[in-house]
Amino acid sequence: MKRLDNKWALVTGSSRGIGRAIVKALAERGCNMVLHARTLAHLSSINAEITAMNVKTHCIAGELSTQAGIDAIIAGVKAGPGYVDILYNNAAVSNQSTPVFEFSAAEWLRTFQVNVFAMAQLCAAFGPSMRERGYGRIVNVTSGIAGQPDLAPYSASKAAVDKYTKDLAVEFKDSNVLVNHIDPGWIKTDLGGPNAWEEVSSVIPGMLVPVLLDDKGPSGRFYAAQDFKGL
């Protein structure tokens, strides 16, 4: 098993669903965890579980929907370990099914704020120091959603995630900061809903693949977690 001892990882949306599964899988490999949720109270359960695994934890809270919340997340990391080796941009929002021409400008902005703008700010906050230290793994969670105009803001935001990931991979070309994007699949979470095809447990080990890449490995690549289901 490839270990991540002494590394620090920030997983946005750590308290439940896919984020919680990623946190537990990273901690099992010895990774220290910066746990994030909207409020610190939401982290009590996962923090207790991870602390029992003999890794370090640091809890931070902040809404990705507001600049103040993003600033709080960045300040929280700096007040804790001071940096992260792994940035996992997992947290996202979706939309209520709506006729495509009826989405308000506010709904488009809300979706892009959380799914794209916040992600880009976190990459900007922590990516350059990864390059300085000679190691970094940035993973942006995307989606395979297609043919659903009733969820157009979510779909378009994930297309923006894909393009930004590829651009960032070029920025970090020839460094050991690897930037990749991954689709977990349609998962039974608060975002995916009860009719989704897969259980949360199916995303592991796939969601770890872009974190565990060898030094100077692939960057700007798309992965599908379900391709690794059952391994």
**Phi, then psi, of 6 in degrees rounded to 5:** 75, 0
- Exposure of 176 in the CB half-sphere (CA atoms within 13 A): 13
Interhelix angle 44-51/17-28, nearest 10 degrees: 20
**Catalytic pick among 88, 154, 164, 223:** 154
Is 223 in the active site? no
Q: Rounded to 5 degrees, what angle do the CA atoms 16, 21, 22 make?
A: 115
User: What's the Cα-to-Cα distance from 192 to each of 90, 95, 145, 151, 169, rounded to whole Å?
Assistant: 13, 11, 11, 12, 28
Give which of 228, 205, 197 is closest to 24, Cα–Cα: 205
CB of 36 within 8 A of CB of 73?
yes
Interhelix angle 152-171/118-133, nearest 10 degrees: 20
CB neighbourhood size of 165 (10 A): 24
CB neighbourhood size of 163 (10 A): 11
Helix (H), strand (E) counts: the chain: 6, 7
Residue type, 93: V
Hey, which residues are catalytic here? 154
